Amino acid sequence: MGEILGLGVTHYPGLMYPDANMATFLERTLASGRVPKERMDPDRWPEPMRREWGTDHGATAAAEHRRRCRDAFRTVRKELDAFAPDFVLIWGDDQYENFKEEIVPPFCVFATPEVACRPFSRRRAFTPPDNVWGEPTETVVTLKGHPAAAKYLVTELINAQVDMPYAYTTRYEHGLAHAFINTVLYLDWDRTGFPYPVVPFHVNCYGSAVIQRRGGAAAPTSPEPDPPGPTPTRCFDVGAATARALARSPWRVALIGSSSWSHAFLTGKTQWIEPDLESDRARLEELRAGRYAKWRELTTRQLEDAGQHEFLNWVCLAGAMHELGRRAEIVDYVESYIFNSDKCFAVFRPR
């Protein structure tokens, strides 16, 4: 019988940016022309937001934000190494980097033997080196896959009435979408190596914004939204079915839900400059109290209103952990007004 460890993390791109650039998502939004004039003025922002912004556009706050996230990743990595899985499965999004206008599947499991990723050539946002490790643009990170486990899982899910798309190769020119490669980079923050094969499990988190906003952060290209992604109910149930299938397998598996929670650039009710902290705090209390089965009852409308599109990755994880009867240990919850999103780190240990 398989053994399963659950982990919840983020893949926030800003963690690899220099301190002076970590607030780049907010700065881009302020420069976009979409923000009402009265919201452009930092003097009219909430006091905690003004404090984070400071006199250096968040550079000082960035160092502390990164430290807490880095330390949380180190704690999660210790749990992963102690468990020593045969492979890790990552629920991630950013599917527009791999799936574009030709087809947008609700889910997709990748059964590839390895993927060569170029995480620092995707975008040259700042003066090189533009990452905190000082790694060159041409750096290649090759991740091992686990085709046998991926094909087993897809087969089991289809037999369980889940019509699960799969792929034997990626289409993205830089390898895996950043939801997956960033997760690995951050779990290997100290660059000791990442020996575990990876099974990427794409989730169409952005749904109504995936093509309209080219994956989420861009301004809408059309007034008409795209069809929605899978509902929280469906994601929760797919997570549960995944846990049942892998519990019957011969492998030790780490299931990772990777995403930040509410994203400022998706939260219209804050004029796209703040995440929905209230909704994130509600989700945190549900997780802390062991009541995360309530996430199955959330609606797409609720998540999109809160800018919690990517939270569907955590909903998949929650479905799996609920199926296994696991409680979460919160490693850290890192809240922010100016760094685009709130980040949660959690471990669900085997009994």
Q: Which CATH number characterizes residue 204's domain?
A: 3.40.830.10
Burial of 268: CB neighbours in 10 Å, binned 0-12, 13-18, 19+? exposed
- Above 90 in pLDDT, residue 39? yes
Establish if 32 belongs to a structural domain: yes
Quickly count: other Cβ atoms within 10 Å of residue 34's Cβ.
15
* pLDDT in the model for residue 80: 98
Establish if 138 belongs to a structural domain: yes
Q: Are 141 and 185 in contact (CB under 8 A)?
A: yes
C-alpha 272: how far from chain center = 19
Establish if 351 belongs to a structural domain: no
* pLDDT in the model for residue 128: 58
* pLDDT in the model for residue 124: 54
- Above 90 in pLDDT, residue 221? no
pLDDT band at 273 (very low <50, low <70, confident <90, very high): very high
Average pLDDT over the chain, rounded to an integer: 94
* pLDDT in the model for residue 216: 65
Q: Which two tokens stand for residue 137?
A: 């643009």
- Above 80 in pLDDT, residue 122? no
Nearest to 256 by CA among 162, 346, 163: 346
Global pTM value: 0.96
* pLDDT in the model for residue 218: 67
Establish if 348 belongs to a structural domain: no
Establish if 150 belongs to a structural domain: no
Q: Give the domain range for residue 285.
A: 3-142+163-343
Establish if 272 belongs to a structural domain: yes
Establish if 157 belongs to a structural domain: no
C-alpha 343: how far from chain center = 9
Higher pLDDT, 174 or 216: 174
Could you tell me which residues come within 8 angstroms of residue 170 by beta carbon, excluding any fewer than 6 positions away?
98, 110, 112, 115, 176
Per-residue pLDDT of 70-117, as tens digits, reads 999 999 999 999 999 999 999 999 778 888 888 899 999 999 999 999
pLDDT band at 123 (very low <50, low <70, confident <90, very high): low
- Above 80 in pLDDT, residue 53? yes
Residues counted in the chain? 351
* pLDDT in the model for residue 129: 65
Q: Report the domain count for the chain.
A: 1
CA distance linking residue 58 with residue 338, whole number of Å: 7
Establish if 255 belongs to a structural domain: yes
Q: What is the mean pLDDT of residues 346-351?
A: 94
